Chain A
Amino acid sequence: DGGITQSPKYLFRKEGQNVTLSCEQNLNHDAMYWYRQDPGQGLRLIYYSQIVNDFQKGDIAEGYSVSREKKESFPLTVTSAQKNPTAFYLCASSIIGRDTGELFFGEGSRLTVL
């Protein structure tokens, strides 16, 4: 079955540690995205990528980094510079083109900083 796989589903980390969230898709989508969701807030875009080896900052990129070395993979690193990293992180993908409003999301990764 085609889809997006995120791992780990739950992650705990100590303050000051970097952590990398994995996102893999087998939908052959060109575009991939990382969103963050906090209680009472909408999803906020962290980074997105339209093509391999290229990515753009979203609205809240500070304290995060990404790479896109393969079409299928778009890992997100939450660095120690991110002040409030505890959140629900969602990876998504979509086709490229006009009105591509359908994003396919992974099941998410819940990060808790202790």
Chain B
Amino acid sequence: RKEVEQDPGPFNVPEGATVAFNCTYSNSASQSFFWYRQDCRKEPKLLMSVYSSGNEDGRFTAQLNRASQYISLLIRDSKLSDSATYLCVVNNQTGTASKLTFGTGTRLQVTL
């Protein structure tokens, strides 16, 4: 079983739609969780952290369910500029350095 699993997609949605991505992780001792965004042939960039209580940043909402080892990302009112690959990331910290494990990503294509 992969440490971090995501549906690769692609998810093709019209502008204005709401779309949700899910991710599961295998290490119950993982400490922290993140969503990164990666545009085609570019480097990944942090989108948002994921907290147990759930957190929102504008149109983006992230949720964590530790019991089920499940993370989600909800995007409301999708824009064309949201088209990208969304990477689910889990931190299994060793010492003082982050040891991030990346999922393979879920590709989103927002269309007119």
Residues of A within 8 A of B (CB): 31, 33, 35, 40-45, 48, 50, 88, 90, 94, 96-103, 105-108
- When the two chains form their complex, are residues B44 and A101 in contact, meaning their CB atoms are under 8 A apart? no
- When the two chains form their complex, are residues A105 and B49 in contact, meaning their CB atoms are under 8 A apart? no
Contacting residues, chain A, for B45 (C-beta < 8 A): 105
Closest to B104 in A: A42
Number of contacts between A and B (CB, 8 Å)? Answer: 69
Report Cα–Cα, A60/B34, bound state, in Å. Answer: 22
- When the two chains form their complex, are residues B104 and A31 in contact, meaning their CB atoms are under 8 A apart? no
Residues of B within 8 A of A (CB): 4, 8, 31-34, 41-46, 49, 87, 89, 91, 93, 95-105
- Given A31-B97, A101-B46, A107-B42, 8 additional A-B pairs, CB 8 A: A40-B8, A42-B102, A48-B99, A97-B96, A98-B31, A99-B32, A99-B93, A103-B100
- When the two chains form their complex, are residues B43 and A50 in contact, meaning their CB atoms are under 8 A apart? no
Given contacts A102-B46, A103-B46, A105-B45, contact A42 B105 (CB under 8 A): yes
- When the two chains form their complex, are residues B95 and A50 in contact, meaning their CB atoms are under 8 A apart? yes
Report Cα–Cα, A97/B95, bound state, in Å. Answer: 9
Closest to B45 in A: A105
- When the two chains form their complex, are residues A101 and B42 in contact, meaning their CB atoms are under 8 A apart? no
Closest to B34 in A: A101
Most chain B Cβ neighbours within 10 Å, of A40, A103, A106: A103
Given contacts A42-B103, A101-B34, contact A94 B98 (CB under 8 A): yes
- When the two chains form their complex, are residues A101 and B100 in contact, meaning their CB atoms are under 8 A apart? yes
Across the A-B interface, give the 9 residue pairs with the lowest CB-CB distance, nearest first. A105-B43, A42-B102, A43-B102, A96-B96, A50-B97, A31-B97, A42-B104, A99-B32, A101-B34
- Report A89 CB to chain B, min CB distance, Å: 11
